[in-house]
Amino acid sequence: MGELLVKEKTIVVPGEELASGMDFLPSHGTYRENDKIYAGKLGLLNIDGKVLKIVSLSGRYLPKSGDTIIAKVTEILMTGWRVDTNSAYEAVLSMKEASSEFIQRGADLTKYYEIGDYVMAKVVNVTSQKLVDISMKGPGLRKLSGGRFLNVNTHKVPRIIGKQGSMVSLIKQHTNCKILVGQNGLVWVSGENPDAELLTVKAIKKIELEAHIPGLTDRIKKFLESNSTQKPVEQSQGEQ
Amino acid sequence: MAYPKRFDGRKNDEMRPIEAKAGVIKRADGSGWFKIGKTEAYAAVYGPRALYPRFLQDPEKGVLRCNYNMMPFSGSGDRVRPGPSRRSKELSMVTEKALRPILNLSEFPNAVVDVFIELPQTDAGSRCAGICAASIALADAGISMKDMVAAIGAGKVSDQKVVDLSYAEESHEEGATDIAMSFVHNTKELTLLQMDGDVSKEELAEIMEMAKKACDQINEIQRNALKEKFQAE
C-alpha cells in the first residue's frame, strides 16, 4: 500500500520522506530508497498522478537545450564567439549559427558581435561535459543594443512572463518599454525615457519578490496604474 | 570530585539553545546561520560556478570547496589570526568531507560549489556549528542533495558523558574528551569523527547514541529554518 506523507504544493527539504510504498514514482528532484521516496533538493512538491516532482525555488541557472537566454559576448574565437550565460558554463556561438547571411572564413567577426555585446540566443545543444552551443537563428533572436539589464532568480522567470506572456504584455502596455526575458535570469528593458525603464525594473523586481503570493497580476496592475504617468497603450507595436 | 552538575545547569543530554536561519546573506546563492549557545556560524554558498585553474576541474562531477574561518575576536582568549592556519585548513578539509557524501555533484561537471564559513564568535563546537550552517546554506542554494547533515560535539567531562561541550567543559581540570561527529539524517551515516581525549569502546558507543539523538533535534531545527524562509517568501 502506498501512502503519501506530504501534501501537494508544500515546501520540502532534502531528505524529507515524501511517500512510502511502490504506488508512487520518483521524478525530477526526488529519489527512491528501498520502498520510500525522498526529496533530493529543496523546492515545491508537485504531484502529477503517481509522479512526484520537485520544482526548484532557488539556485543558479543550468543551461538546457531549447532555452532562450540573454548572453554576453566575452571573447572572439577563430570560428565564432564565446559568451557568458550567467551560469557555471560558457557557451560558444559558431560562425555558422551567428546570422542568416554567410560569413566568410577569416572575416572580421567584430563586425557582427563585439566583446561586451548582449545577444538574445537559443541554446541548441548541451553535452554531458556541459559544452554549450547557442544559435542566433530563430524568430526574435538578435543583438540587444541600448536599454538596461537586470538579474532575476531564474526560477521566477515563468512568473515574470506570465501565462502566454500576459505579465510581460501588461507591463509593456503601461510603460511602453520593450522587455525581453531570458531563461537564464537576465532581463533586458529598453524604453523611450529613463522613468519608464525604472518603473519597469521596479515592477519586475516586485514580481520576483511577490511571485508566490496569490493575486499577483492584480497587484502588479494596480502598482503600474498608480505609478505610470502615461496612459496605457494598447499593444500596437510589432515588437515582442 | 568528579562533575556532578554541568557548569550551565544543563542535563547531560541537553544541548545549548539553538537558533538557525536560512537566506541571511543577500548576494550569496544560498546561505545559512546557525547558533548554538555562544557559538555562531555563518555559511555562504556560491555556485555552481566556473572553476579555475583548469587542472582543478573534474570532468565527471563538480567540486566542493569549503573554507572555514574564525574572525579576529571570535575566540575566548587572544585575538585569533584569521585566514588559513594549520587548524583552519584542517577544519575546512573535514567540513568538506562531512558534506560531500550527501551532495549529488554529477549534475555540474567541471564546476565548483564554494562554501564559506565564518565564525563571529565561538565557545567550542565551532566545526560542528559550521557544518550545520553549511548544510542549511547548500539546501538553500538549491543544490541537489540526498539528505541534510547535522553535527554535534559530545564526550566526557571528568566521569560524566555529556553532549555539546562548552569551552569551559572542554578545559575541565579533571580532563575532558570531546568527540565531534556529523550524521546524515536518514541513514545515520557518520561523515565526521574527530576526537580529543580518550574513551573506552563501550563509552564511545554510548556517546555516539547521545549524539545521534541530538542530531535528530538539530535536523528538525535546520528543516524549520529552511521552510520558514521559503514559506514566508
Count: domains in chain B: 1
Residue-level pLDDT at A90:
95
Residue with cell 554549450: A132
Tell me the domains of chain A and their CATH numbers.
3-56 (2.40.50.100), 68-144 (2.40.50.140), 148-227 (3.30.1370.10)
Report ipTM (2 d.p.): 0.91
Whether B215 and B183 have beta carbons less than 8 Å apart is answered as yes
In a domain, B177, yes or no: yes
In a domain, B8, yes or no: no
Residues of A within 8 A of B107 (CB-CB) are 62
In a domain, B35, yes or no: yes
**Could you tell me if B142 lies within 8 Å of chain A, comparing CB atoms?**
yes
Nearest CA in chain A to B187: A15
In a domain, B9, yes or no: no
In a domain, B147, yes or no: yes
Low-confidence ranges of chain B (pLDDT < 50): none
Residue A226: pLDDT band with limits 50, 70, 90: confident
> How many CB atoms are closer than 10 A to CB A198?
16
3-state helix, strand, coil in chain B (%, to 5): 30, 30, 35
Residue B39 belongs to a domain with what CATH number? 3.30.230.70
End-to-end CA gap in chain B: 53
Residue with cell 496605457: A232
pLDDT, one tens digit per residue, over B200-218 is 999 999 999 999 999 999 9
CB contact under 8 A, B29 and A58: yes
Please tell me which of the candidates B49, B141, B142 has its beta carbon nearest to residue A88. Answer: B49
In a domain, B55, yes or no: yes
pLDDT, one tens digit per residue, over A189-205 is 999 889 999 999 999 99
Q: What angle do CA B226, B228, B233 make, to 5 degrees?
A: 100
Range of the domain at B136: 18-232
CB contact under 8 A, A88 and B48: yes
pLDDT, one tens digit per residue, over B44-87 is 999 899 999 999 999 999 999 999 999 999 988 899 999 999 99
Among candidates B133, B169, B134, which has minimal Cα distance to B9? B169
In a domain, B44, yes or no: yes
In a domain, B7, yes or no: no
